[in-house]
């Protein structure tokens, strides 16, 4: 069993990942920005944006799962400014710092959580994320990159923002967002399977038009809204971050996730 440092362990994915790793018998340590009084897991206070705490957090660790990110869109929904810039201090500078400290600490395996279709997206956040991923791929460490489609919570957040509109005109592009629990299981497996490099991407179990995900959301919430599918080119869909993958499929369906949340 590995001694694992998880960055982003307090985030949406991290909150599913940490129990998944501990149930699998691993020894887990979190890098956390704020004190974690209620966790049974070991934690070290640190900040990727400054480099504080990284050496201490990496002491005695064999595997790093780097799942921290700074996505303003995920935090507070999309704003106009997000089409022009996205902060780099965590995803680029922080990743660079963590890689250097991991090399120094002779980490055996560095796992990076990434996003499907980054090359095709025009969003500044995606470009920042891709730069961070490229740093990992260029690193002399033994690394794995696992790309996932957008998480269900992000889809819900986006659709919540449309609730006030009576008509939803939405792309019919094929998509398969995924449950963070499925990504967490995949990461737990990746820690022990001995594989390295670019791993198969993961998406949700159902590839459907994006507009159908919106219809299912509407129906689960019992909303009276008209959902109109809008055909959009593949290039445009990717530019907007509407992606799909069938390389590896999760198990949990959107409707089931919705009824649980």
Ligand X SMILES: NC(=O)c1ccc[n+]([C@@H]2O[C@H](COP(=O)([O-])OP(=O)(O)OC[C@H]3O[C@@H](n4cnc5c(N)ncnc54)[C@H](OP(=O)(O)O)[C@@H]3O)[C@@H](O)[C@H]2O)c1
Instruction: Name the residue nearer to ligand X (CB basis): 117 or 225.
Output: 117
Q: How far is the CB of 224 from ligand X (least distance, A)?
A: 28
Binding positions for ligand X, 152-181, rule CB under 6 A: 154
> CA 80, 84, 90: angle at the middle one, nearest 5?
105
| Reduced DSSP (H G I as helix, E B as strand, rest coil) percent helix, strand, coil of the chain, to 5 | 40, 20, 40
Side-chain half-sphere of 46: how many Cα atoms within 13 Å?
26
Contact between 151 and ligand X (CB under 6 A)? yes
Interacting span for ligand X (CB under 6 A) from 2-10, 18-26, 162-170, 187-195: 2-10
- How many residues at the interface with ligand X, by CB under 6 A? 28
CA distances from 236 to 119, 121, 138, 185 (A): 13, 9, 29, 31
Give phi and psi for 142, each to the nearest 5.
Answer: -80, 115
Interacting span for ligand X (CB under 6 A) from 55-63, 143-151, 156-164, 191-199: 143-151
- For the chain, the residue count is 261
Beta strands 208-209 and 174-175, pairing class:
antiparallel
Instruction: Name the residue nearer to ligand X (CB basis): 211 or 245.
Output: 245
Binding positions for ligand X, 9-48, rule CB under 6 A: 10-14, 31, 33-34, 47-48
Instruction: Name the residue nearer to ligand X (CB basis): 170 or 202.
Output: 202
Interacting span for ligand X (CB under 6 A) from 66-74, 212-220, 229-237, 243-251: 66-74
Q: What is Dmax (Cα atoms) for the chain?
A: 57
Angle between helices 93-104 and 124-137 in degrees, nearest 10: 20
Q: How far is the CB of 115 from ligand X (least distance, A)?
A: 4
Closest by CA to 141, choosing from 188, 193, 183, 105, is: 105
Instruction: Name the residue nearer to ligand X (CB basis): 97 or 218.
Output: 97
Separation CA 72–CA 164 (nearest Å): 22
The residue at minimum Cβ distance from ligand X is 11
Contact between 248 and ligand X (CB under 6 A)? no
Contact between 237 and ligand X (CB under 6 A)? no
Instruction: Name the residue nearer to ligand X (CB basis): 73 or 192.
Output: 73
**CA 167 and chain centroid, separation:** 30
* Residue from the set 57, 67, 101, 128 that interacts with ligand X by CB under 6 A: 67
Under a CB-based contact definition with an 8 Å cutoff, are residues 216 and 258 in contact?
yes
Contact between 118 and ligand X (CB under 6 A)? no
Contact between 68 and ligand X (CB under 6 A)? yes
Binding residues for ligand X, per CB under 6 A? 7-8, 10-14, 31, 33-34, 47-49, 67-71, 74, 90, 94, 113, 115, 129, 148, 150-151, 154
């Amino acid at each position: 069993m590995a001694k694992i440092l998880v960055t982003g362990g307090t985030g949406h994915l991290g909150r599913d990942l940490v129990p998944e790793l501990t149930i699998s018998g691993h020894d887990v340590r979190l890098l956390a920005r704020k004190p974690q009084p209620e966790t049974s897991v070991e934690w070290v206070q640190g900040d990727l944006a400054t480099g504080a705490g990284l050496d201490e957090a990496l002491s005695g660790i064999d595997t790093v799962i780097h799942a921290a990110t700074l996505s303003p869109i995920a935090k507070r929904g999309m704003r106009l400014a997000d089409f022009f810039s996205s902060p780099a201090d965590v995803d680029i500078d922080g990743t660079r710092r963590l890689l250097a400290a991991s090399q120094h600490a002779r980490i055996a395996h560095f796992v990076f959580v990434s996003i499907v279709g980054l090359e095709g997206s025009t969003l500044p956040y995606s470009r920042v994320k891709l730069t961070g991923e490229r740093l990992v791929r260029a690193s002399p460490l033994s690394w794995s990159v696992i790309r996932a489609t957008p998480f269900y919570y992000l889809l819900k957040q986006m659709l919540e923002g449309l609730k006030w509109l009576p008509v939803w005109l939405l792309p019919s592009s094929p998509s398969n967002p995924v449950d963070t629990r499925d990504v967490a299981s995949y990461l737990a497996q990746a820690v022990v399977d001995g594989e390295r490099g670019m791993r198969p991407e993961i998406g949700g179990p159902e590839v459907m038009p994006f507009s159908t995900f919106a219809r299912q959301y509407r129906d689960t919430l019992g909303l009276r809204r008209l959902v109109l599918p809008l055909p959009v080119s593949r290039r445009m869909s990717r530019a907007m971050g509407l992606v799909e993958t069938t390389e590896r499929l999760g198990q949990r369906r959107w409707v089931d996730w919705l009824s649980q949340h």
